[in-house]
Every structure is written in structure tokens, then in C-alpha cells.
Structure 1
């Protein structure tokens, strides 16, 4: 009977796969070879593994050691396979057996004196190991308390190779005393709290309602209006109405930031990213010689705010279209392709024209119709078609003193709506992101309602995507109201938002030469 190989986890971006570590030792000229498409850091692992083998008094005189990392057709990177390779070799050279089962994996680098060390990518490797179904994960001495107590796997921290071997042999292992703190450790689980509360925003009651619906269902929003009308202030307050992240999503977001080497604590609050309009396509989407996550991945499970949308290049904006649909981004390079999660809520703000005052009642616009049209066409039609809300803002006077709800009160309603959607879809998404087939199967719409929506879209010349968007919006509005079916009022409100978006997207009329 073939005995079980030593198991570890490899990463391709944020996608994990099981790596089987095999070793063969035979009498030959002394040599240590690692095969299975290792990168330079893994090829250097042989020196660390050999040093630890000698420290454990393993006899390698006149022995050729071959270590195979399977599957052989996947490129391996990083130093996280060191400890697994050491155990695989020791199982060949030691007389005493070292048992290993298929529910256990090892994720640790090695020092020359046999200490188990953390490595870059440890957090996402743990997260993916849990996804792959491992029930026991052997780790270097890092503080795993911040990963939460709800993980369906036992995290075992071991200090050195001798403790590792004792644990695998079933001997008692004392708890490690010297615990290293993981990167970017935060003393609090609540960070990134917004500095602006919704109650401090004067007026804009329709806009606040639209943002509440967007937060409840994961719908994308574009706000347009003259300078100083409150777009940035509303965007700053928007994260405050989003619910806290559950433990599995917290770990997923923390893993992305760990891979990108970005500073963020282990926080229950959704991430909020606001890249400058001069950001390149690579910094926004991700990539580089050694691919790393971009802004859309750093906004995973949170908000990506693009201020001054008209100043971004059209090519950069069009690169958002596919991630907005699929919730992930794949970066292809000659050597490898990596995939990062990118399920974000796009919140954008723009002026209506270069001078900012087209359609304003306060100042005259100095732009020509051609300039206005060129400015507005920075966001292409297919991108705008993916936006559920296009909101036109007007300036509000300081005399507007109507009492407004706080972000906490709105967040409570949004949290309840999220709970209804998680129960409906089994935690697989929100109304704005769940696949259309599943949305239609669980929407609660009657046949007459679906027929009426289809007829309306045909009369208005709206696309099929718009028809599904109307159903998504209506379903979210019904969830906010706490009802299981979709009411006529919810459908009417969804249609009203779509008509406002269609009006806002109409280009300015260009005068023909020689005509008044």
C-alpha cells in the first residue's frame, strides 16, 4: 500500500491548490535536486533543508536526494514548502516512521538552525488550506488568535523541526512560548471607520436613499454634479452604512492585503479604496513583472471610490468591466496566470463637464458641447450600462436643516437586508452580484410582473442587462422593506431610478453650423 505523501499548499494569486511533496533517496554521488517547476527561492531551499538535516544527524553520505513537488506542471513559488520537503526527506532516511494523513498540511519556511519561520503569503495560504478542506494546519510560531475561533481547522504552531517531528509522531508538544506577531497586526478589529456621518450631510434625501439601496444590494453608483455639491462628502460617509464583515470574509480581505504587502489590520469593517485619477491601469487592476493585487482587489468585499471619473483614461476605466461582472480578475503573463478576487462596489463621482458647471443654476458653463461630450464619453456605454444608479446632484444651501438619519440607523436596515439575501442565496452573493439565473429563480416576482418589466424595457429600448438590473433593484428595495415578495412600489421605484439614470446619461445637443 502506497503511503501518504507530505502535503502543502501552493498559491496562484489567491487561488490555492494542493501540493504533494515526494522524496527519493538513493546511493549515488551526493546531490540534492528539487523538481516540479520550482522558482529561485525554492531552489535555494535545498541549502536550508540540508542544514536542518545535518542538525538532526541524518546520514546523507553518498546519497542523492530528489524532491518532487506535484503537480509538476504548476509553477511553485515562495519558501513555504521548506518544512514539508524536510519531513518528506526524513521519512526516507530515518528508520523510525513519521506518519502523515491527508487532512494535514505543513506551511512553514526554515532557518539554518531548524527554526520554523513565517513567509510572505502565509495568511492566504492558511485561508486557501481551509478552503481545500484541510482539518489540521502545521504552522511556524505565529499568533493565530486574530484569525478567529470559527475556522473549521486546527491551527498548530510549532517552534522548530524537533517539535514538528514529535507532533507528527504523536508525542506531546508543549505550547510555543515565543510567538511572533503576524504582519500588519492591529490592536483593534475595527478600523477604517469613516470620518463623516450621514447625519452631517445636508439635504440630498433622494441620493441618500439611492446609496442605502446600493449598500443593501451591492449595486454600483455614479454621482454627477457641480463642484462643492457634496459628492465627495457622501462618498466619505458611504462606508459607514455597510455591515461588518463575517470572519471568513475578514480573513479573505486580510489575505489580499498580505499578498499586496499593504498595511491593514484584521478589521471587521469593509475596505475603502480611493485611487487618484492619475493611477495607471496596472495599479488599478493589478499586475507587474511579479503580479500583485491592484486597487480593485484591495477593495474586495468593500468600496472602490473613483473621484473625478472624467479624468481617468478610458482604457483604464474599460478594464473594470469584466471584474465588475465576474467578481475576480485574472492577470496573464508569459510565465503564469494569477487570479485575485475583486468583488467590489464601484462608487464614482464626476463633474458634468471640464469646467464643472454644465447644467448648474449657479454659474454659467464655459465649455463647448464638443468638450462636454468628449468629457462625458470617458466612461464608455458598456461601463455605464453596468451602473445601477446615475445620480445628478445639485448644490444644497446651508439653510437645509431637516433632521437626517445617522449612519448607524441606516446600517441596521442594510444589515437586515444583507441577512435576508445571505439566507436566500446561501452566502453566495448579494442581489447585485448573484448570477441572473439564481436571481430570477428566487426573486419572488409573478409572471405578470416579469411580463410588465419586459414590455417596459422593450418600449424604452433598454438592454437585456437593464431588465435584469431592474429586477435586482426591485428585489433589494423589497429586502429593505422586509418583505419576501416584490411589491409594485418596489418595481416602480426601481424604474424611477433607471429613468433618472437614462436622463443623466443623455449627451448635450450640439448645434449644427449655421443654425440658431
Structure 2
């Protein structure tokens, strides 16, 4: 009778339960392992790893033809996490191992050790949600991820022999103890106290961090754009438990959970990156940088130097917070709710608008360079600021700059106001406030409406830009701990949104 046990396959962030069936035909003159069920190359190669792992663990490989079926047969399976369930199934079918209701995950090395695999946390969270009642076996190398999930009969092993001893009851092993999701930490190595001057830029970045708004910084080379951007994580509020789980699921799936510390994501891809690297894709529809920056910061330095198709592809994730990767074999939607921070020079030489430097670019060069960032993309950016070079006296000033800790405390206070305001909704920050709910949460007095109307007429603002200004005004009011949006809040928001029209 064929042996049966459970496992899963992970495609994107989606976990699908599968059944591993093993049958041994001892009368067959062909001694081989045949794996069926639409497995990828890693799955097909598993028979060689399993054979060596069984022999080097002291188990005799059964004589005859071994057929392994991965059901359902029409669902594509990928990855090396099916090594362990296949090996356990063969041992159960050959009578070495007792039959038990277990779900196994893990890659086998040739000497029988169980290696870590991607997607363990994603899988365990899924099993916890569906209230799986069987025994779950995972690699000991994935113990840190296993300790984050509660409600499962979970065991972690380092070798195949330990799994056999446990199932046969020869040795008693303790289940994995639940330790919960570790709190996300602050990025403390870089501090705004190290930045001299730049009061306007610091204020804009504080507003952006408080409301999760997108930012574009323009300025000459050496004015401090990159230095400011790399310090943004130090003023971001701590991630909520839900945000932390979302981030960890992504990083578990792509195999990037190497550090013992958890930070809010900060991704800074090079400007030569392709659209597949930024948005996601490839043969296996892998997530890109926009997904790896989910709930964090995506910093694009030298913004106009990115390929045009890459810049334009940012439209969907900036607007919807998700990105859909469509390929011939699959279509996967990944989360991509990030805070975009972009930096660019005002022209190819970088000196346009600098009162102390001569610009060598022609008017045509300047226009062509700035047109690399299209209107629809600029429309999706909440804050646009000019970063000026520091004066000599500012550079050597002995006046202490405000620290990241002081700025972060104000940001946290403003974010807590938003959490309370939007409790019960599927968003928690002002930047994600839908157009439908804008009028419900934001009311302007007559003077504020008048100044917004004047700005709309003067700068020919789109409906999306007006919505952005209203959301910005709400964030500025929250930083000011004001229930009402005042004239000065709207005026400051208009200033940040109309820089590209000046």
C-alpha cells in the first residue's frame, strides 16, 4: 500500500498543501526513482540527494522501482523543500518508518543533514491559519522562523536519522517553543544629528516619515541628498506586528532572513537595475525591489538615470500598493506598499540653479533631462524639495543638530494619532487615505479652501495632486497635534507639492 504524507509548495507568497505518495514495486527489474506530478528541476534532482542521504544515514535503499507522486498532479511544484517528505515517504513505504500524520519540509544534503529552505515562516503561518492538527517537521536551521508561530505541533531536526528516531518513538524530542515575533529595531548607525543645516529638507522628510509620503529631492551633486535619504530609517516609527509579519513573510519566501535583527526595509538598487529586478518577474515570477521594500523605504538615487520603462512601471505600485507579475505559466500579485524616496540632479552637469556654480548644459539638455521623469510619475510623488548646498559657516557651525531620536518621537506621536483615527479601516497612514474618504476625514475652512483654489488655478494641479495636498495637510496637522487643518498646514503642503511647477 502506498505511503502518504503531507507537504506544501510555495509559489510567490501563496502556500498550497500537497500530498506526497510513495509506492515501491519490488518485482520490477528496474531499480530507479520516478518522481511525477509536475515538479521543477530541483524536485526532479531530489531523487539523487534522497538516495545518497538515505544510504549515508544508515538506511538501505529499497530494491525495485520507486514511484513518487506529488498530488495534485496538475499543480507546478518547485524548490528543494520536498526532499525530506520524499525520503520519509520512501522509508514509510519500505517499512523502516511507522506511518504517521506528519507534514515535512526540508532539503537533504548527501550526508543526511537537513538544510534550511525558503518560505518556512510563510508556510507555518498558513498552517496556523487553517488550524493544521498534524505534526510539522522543519529543518533546525529554520528554528528562528519556527519559533515565531504558535498553535502547531512543531518539531525541528538537524538530520534525517533524528526524524526517524522521533517518528518511531526511539528518542523523545521536545517541540519547538513559541517565542513570538521579535520587535523591529531602529536603524541607529546613521543619525540626523550628523547632518549640518538642511532644515527644510529635514522638515520635509519628517513629514514624509510621519504620513508615509513619497519624496523627490532635487539638488546639486554633494548637496546631501543621499546622506539625508540614508538616515530616513532612523526616524521611521516601529513596525506594527502585522507589518512585521508581512515583511518577514516576504523575506522568508525569498530566503533573505539571515540576520537575527529585524529592521524596517530600506532598499537602494543601482540605477542600472532592470525592470525585472525592480518590479519582479523572470521565469519564476520572483518579487522585485518594490516588494522587498514593502512597509519600508525604496531609495532610488540618480532617479532620471533609471531606464524609462523602470520609472514608468512604478505607477501601479505607487498608486495601488501592489504589483502584479504576469507570465505565461503564472500570474502572481505581490504586496508593494513602500515609501518612495528619489534623488536627482537638476540637470546633466548638476549645477543648474546653483548661484555659485556655472551650468554647462543647454536649455534643451535641461528640459530633456527633467522630462525623463514623466508627469504621471511626478503626480504620484507627494513632496518635492530643493536641497541646497551648505554655506561654509553652516558646515563649521558648532550648533548641535537635532537628533534622529527627537525627530522620531514626533513622528511616532503623529503616527499614533493616525492609528487611532483609521482604526477599523484597511490602512493606517494619511498617504493611503482613499479619495472616497478624504472628505470624511479632512475638512478645510474657507481661507484654506481659497488658498488651495488659487494654487490649483496657478499651477494647473490635477485632481490627484489636490488629494495629495489634502493628505499632506492632514499629516502636518497631526505633527502639530491639531485636530483641525489650519491655513498654515495647507500652505506648507502646497509648497511641497508645487516645487516641480516652479
TM-score range for the pair, normalised by the shorter chain length: 0.7 to 0.9
Structure 1: segments with no counterpart, 5+ residues: 178-187, 508-516
Are 1:67 and 1:85, in contact at CA under 8 Å, matched by a contact in 2?
A: no
Structure 2: segments with no counterpart, 5+ residues: 177-182
Question: 1:181 aligns to what?
Answer: none
Instruction: Say whether residues 1:198 and 2:197 are aligned partners.
Output: no
Question: 2:500 aligns to what?
Answer: 505
What TM-score do you get using the length of structure 1 for normalisation? 0.78
* CA gap 1:393/1:133 in 2 versus in 1, 3 angstroms: farther
Deviation at 1:304, TM superposition (A): 1.7
Does 421-430 or 210-219 show the bigger shift?
Answer: 421-430
Instruction: Say whether residues 1:270 and 2:267 are aligned partners.
Output: no
**SS class of match (2:217):** strand
- Partner residue of 1:355 out of 349, 352, 355: 349
* CA gap 1:408/1:447 in 2 versus in 1, 3 angstroms: closer
Deviation at 1:256, TM superposition (A): 4.5
Deviation at 1:501, TM superposition (A): 2.5
**Aligned equivalents of 2:297, 2:231: Cα separation in 1:** 12
Deviation at 1:393, TM superposition (A): 2.7
Question: 2:7 aligns to what?
Answer: 8
Deviation at 1:111, TM superposition (A): 4.0
Deviation at 1:121, TM superposition (A): 4.9
Alignment of 1:393-404 (within 5 A): 393-400=387-394, 404=401
What TM-score do you get using the length of structure 2 for normalisation? 0.80
Instruction: Say whether residues 1:413 and 2:410 are aligned partners.
Output: yes
Are 2:433 and 2:471, in contact at CA under 8 Å, matched by a contact in 1?
A: no
**Deviation per CA, 1:46-92, whole angstroms, max 9, x where unpaired?**
3444566777868955565342233x333211110122234445555
Question: 1:300 aligns to what?
Answer: 294
Question: 1:98 aligns to what?
Answer: 99
Are 1:274 and 1:306, in contact at CA under 8 Å, matched by a contact in 2?
A: yes
**Deviation per CA, 1:138-160, whole angstroms, max 9, x where unpaired?**
21222624766565656421234
Q: How many residues align?
A: 484
Instruction: Say whether residues 1:85 and 2:82 are aligned partners.
Output: no
Are 1:9 and 1:129, in contact at CA under 8 Å, matched by a contact in 2?
A: no
Deviation at 1:505, TM superposition (A): 1.7
Deviation at 1:215, TM superposition (A): 0.7
Are 2:154 and 2:175, in contact at CA under 8 Å, matched by a contact in 1?
A: no
- Partner residue of 2:221 out of 224, 227, 235: 227
* CA gap 1:386/1:87 in 2 versus in 1, 3 angstroms: same
Deviation at 1:339, TM superposition (A): 4.8
* CA gap 1:150/1:271 in 2 versus in 1, 3 angstroms: same
* CA gap 1:279/1:61 in 2 versus in 1, 3 angstroms: closer
**Aligned equivalents of 2:403, 2:460: Cα separation in 1:** 39
Are 2:293 and 2:336, in contact at CA under 8 Å, matched by a contact in 1?
A: yes
**SS class of match (2:299):** strand
CA-atom RMSD in angstroms: 4.1
Question: 1:496 aligns to what?
Answer: 492
* CA gap 1:76/1:18 in 2 versus in 1, 3 angstroms: same
Alignment of 1:253-264 (within 5 A): 253=247, 256-257=250-251
**Deviation per CA, 1:324-346, whole angstroms, max 9, x where unpaired?**
23334343444444554433211
**Aligned equivalents of 1:303, 1:41: Cα separation in 2:** 34
**Aligned equivalents of 1:91, 1:363: Cα separation in 2:** 77
